[in-house]
């Protein structure tokens, strides 16, 4: 029996993709209904409609309400099979121009909005990269470092050069929108860290943490190497310190702070007060991000309050007081001594549940404001911050799902979903707070928040 396949494509289909589509081998099984058995041939027609970009969310296989239609309901299958190039076509053709159209005259001068190709569960990486790209001081200092460092001779490839290369590639594009494949960078990540080598779903926060620490290490090593070769202030060290850093002569040098530290590092003070002698012991520790425990129907402000709340150490958990020379009951408190320029807040949405023997995702509603006040110990002055990026975890479980990022650029909010970039209204941001009921459908939740200090560079 012969099957005639008619595929109607909209005119707007670019012709190379048209022919690619027509030649496409359709590997689906046809289920022949009893009443068609008698026929010598029949026609199967599939109509493909131009998809609208707003329909795209979730993974390629889940995506696309009726991107194509067929009489036998095979459209969805077809979409799944052809999903890879379809997404690319959408972005390169429709979505790119759509974003440019949406922004029109307001498209920021010199800015580039590029989607990042996904190499199989690399959305954890893409979402973090977009947040960092739109962290302007970080981007500028990375590009500055790289453009100067390139001239110092042959530098061995490392995570820093791969990231700088990627950012340079994006920022030097002639086109304003499109898609870039962060292939070298992803390969480097996998080469360097076994943890990210598999195709499994990874944790975006772990990745961010790994990346920032790695970048800081590379800059420190660069600086050490430069110190070894020349005792005088070297150009490489200056670069590690970034463009705006200079020490007046005669001021004793502090331990080297790279520009990664100067952007993200803050200092916490861990204060312990002995309840017998009242002696306060303070210990400082640095952080690149704050991990906060979350509660249902709460806010970042209340999570931060809990983070800094007083805890009593007693019973099994007593504190050794140096003055009393014995274990004593004590009160412990964490305070922010030096707020970072870029405040990264990680919400602990993945919680180990002992009864279940596994991690569980908490979709709790945690409100994160556009403007945040951070209480510090510095003369009790609040530091003010403004939200510029959110990495969102999509999905109900910890071991699967998807990551996207929301980014504020030149007062517009954009949603980056791997290859796709679209404009969103600021009011959309609050749909990512979480859900006030445990079993609601809302599983797209803010996971890592990026705030920039309004107080200028610290």
List the catalytic residues: 123, 402
Classify residue 181 by its DSSP letter: -
Q: Looking at beta carbons only, is 60 or 324 nearer to Zn ion?
A: 324
Choosing from 179, 212, 274, 407, the residue that interacts with Zn ion (CB under 5 A) is 274
C-alpha distances out from residue 333 to 107, 265, 269, 302, 448, Å: 47, 20, 8, 16, 24
Choices 96-104, 170-178, 249-257, 274-282 (CB under 5 A): range interacting with Zn ion: 274-282
Binder to Zn ion among 102, 324, 334, 423 (CB under 5 A)?
Answer: 324
Q: How many residues interact with Zn ion (rule CB under 5 A)?
A: 6
Report residue 265: phi and psi, to 5°: -85, 135
3-class DSSP assignment, residue 141: helix
Q: Does 424 bind Zn ion (CB under 5 A)?
A: no
Does 313 participate in binding Zn ion (rule CB under 5 A)?
Answer: no
**Measured from the CB atom, is 277 or 428 closer to Zn ion?**
277
To Zn ion, the closest distance from the beta carbon of 272 in angstroms equals: 10
The per-residue DSSP string of 222-236 comes to HHHHHHHH-SSPPHH
Query: Is the separation of the CB atoms in 382 and 375 below 8 Å?
Result: yes
CB of 3 closer than 8 Å to CB of 42: yes
Alpha-carbon distance 382 to 420, whole Å? 37
The whole-angstrom separation of Cα 88 and Cα 114 is 12
277 binds Zn ion (CB under 5 A): yes
Q: Which is nearer to Zn ion, 323 or 400 (CB)?
A: 323
Q: Where are the alpha helices (DSSP H) in 230-320?
A: 235-240, 259-264, 300-307
Q: Which is nearer to Zn ion, 329 or 384 (CB)?
A: 329
Q: Which stretch binds Zn ion (CB under 5 A): 156-164, 268-276, 333-341, 446-454?
A: 268-276
What minimum distance in Å lies between the beta carbon of 309 and Zn ion? 22
Minimum CB distance to Zn ion, residue 371 (Å): 41
Q: Rounded CA gap, 62 and 424, in Å?
A: 21
Span near Zn ion by CB under 5 A; candidates 41-49, 81-89, 207-215, 318-326? 318-326
Q: Residue 277 Cβ, how far from Zn ion at the closest point, in Å?
A: 3
Restricted to residues 140-169, the positions that interact with Zn ion (CB under 5 A) are none
Provide the minimum distance between the beta carbon of 312 and Zn ion in the complex, in angstroms, as a whole number: 15
Cα separations in angstroms, 73 against 9, 28, 30, 40, 78: 17, 12, 11, 22, 10
Helix (H) or strand (E) holding 286, with range, is: strand 280-287
Q: Which of 276, 305, 400, 457 binds Zn ion (CB under 5 A)?
A: 276
C-alpha torsion angle, residues 245, 258, 221, 234 (rounded to 10): 0
**Closest distance of CB 308 from Zn ion, Å:** 23
Strands 298-299 and 350-353: unpaired
Per CB under 5 A, the segment of 203-211, 217-225, 324-332, 391-399 that binds Zn ion is: 324-332
Considering beta carbons, is residue 282 or 454 the nearer one to Zn ion? 282
Distance from C-alpha of 346 to C-alpha of 52, rounded to nearest angstrom: 33
Per DSSP, 21 falls in state H
One-character DSSP codes across 235-251? HHHHHHT-TT--PPTTS
Rounded CA separation 403/381 (Å): 35
Counting contacts by CB under 5 A, is residue 323 touching Zn ion? yes
From 189, 321, 372, 404, residue interacting with Zn ion (rule: CB under 5 A): 321
Given the complex with Zn ion, which of 288 and 321 has the nearer CB atom?
Answer: 321
Please tell me whether residue 129 binds Zn ion under the rule CB under 5 A: no
CB of 377 to Zn ion, least distance (A): 22
Which is closer to Zn ion, CB of 272 or CB of 420? 272
> Cβ closer to Zn ion: 276 or 400?
276
Q: Tell me the window of 200-208, 273-281, 411-419, 447-455 that interacts with Zn ion (CB under 5 A).
A: 273-281
Asked if 405 and 131 touch (Cβ cutoff 8 Å), the reply is yes
* Minimum distance from residue 318 beta carbon to Zn ion (Å): 11
Site residues, Zn ion (CB under 5 A): 274, 276-277, 321, 323-324
């Amino acid at each position: 029996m012969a099957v005639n396949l008619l595929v109607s494509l909209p005119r707007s289909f670019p012709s190379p993709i048209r022919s690619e589509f027509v030649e496409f081998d359709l590997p689906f099984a046809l289920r022949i209904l009893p009443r068609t058995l008698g026929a010598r041939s029949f026609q199967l027609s599939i109509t493909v409609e131009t998809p609208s970009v707003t329909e795209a969310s979730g993974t390629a296989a889940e995506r696309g309400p009726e991107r194509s239609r067929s009489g036998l309901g095979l459209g969805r299958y077809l979409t799944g099979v052809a999903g890879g190039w379809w997404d690319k076509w959408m972005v390169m053709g429709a979505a790119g121009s759509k974003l440019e159209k949406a922004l029109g005259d307001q498209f920021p001068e010199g800015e580039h909005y590029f989607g990042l190709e996904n190499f199989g569960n690399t959305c954890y990486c893409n979402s973090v990269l977009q947040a960092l790209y739109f962290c302007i001081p970080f981007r500028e200092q990375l590009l500055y470092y790289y453009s100067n460092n390139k001239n110092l001779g042959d530098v061995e490839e490392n995570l820093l050069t791969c990231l700088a290369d990627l950012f340079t590639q994006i920022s030097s594009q002639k086109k304003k929108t499109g898609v870039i494949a962060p292939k070298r960078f992803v390969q480097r990540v996998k080469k360097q860290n076994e943890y990210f080598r598999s195709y499994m779903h990874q944790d975006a926060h772990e990745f961010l943490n790994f990346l920032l620490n790695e970048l800081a290490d590379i800059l420190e090593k660069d600086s050490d190497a430069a110190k070894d070769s020349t005792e005088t202030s070297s150009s490489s060290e200056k670069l590690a310190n970034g463009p705006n850093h200079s020490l007046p002569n005669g001021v004793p040098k502090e331990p080297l702070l790279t520009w990664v530290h100067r952007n993200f590092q803050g200092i916490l003070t861990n204060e312990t007060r002995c309840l017998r002698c009242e002696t306060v012991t303070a210990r400082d520790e640095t952080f690149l991000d704050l991990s906060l425990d979350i509660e249902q129907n709460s806010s970042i402000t209340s999570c931060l309050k809990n983070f800094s709340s007083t805890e009593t150490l007693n019973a099994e958990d007593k504190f050794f007081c140096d003055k009393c020379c014995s274990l004593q009951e004590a009160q412990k408190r964490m305070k922010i001594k030096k707020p970072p320029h870029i405040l990264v807040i990680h919400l602990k949405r993945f919680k180990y549940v002992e009864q279940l023997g596994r991690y569980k995702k908490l979709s709790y509603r945690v409100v994160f404001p556009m403007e945040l006040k951070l209480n510090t110990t510095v003369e009790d002055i609040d530091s003010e911050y403004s939200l510029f990026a959110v990495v969102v975890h999509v999905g109900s479980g910890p071991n699967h799902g998807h990551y996207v990022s929301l980014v504020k650029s030149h007062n517009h909010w954009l949603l980056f979903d791997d290859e796709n970039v679209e404009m969103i209204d600021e009011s959309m941001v609050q749909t990512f707070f979480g859900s006030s009921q445990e079993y609601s459908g809302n599983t797209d939740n803010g996971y890592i928040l990026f705030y920039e200090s309004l107080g200028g560079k610290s």
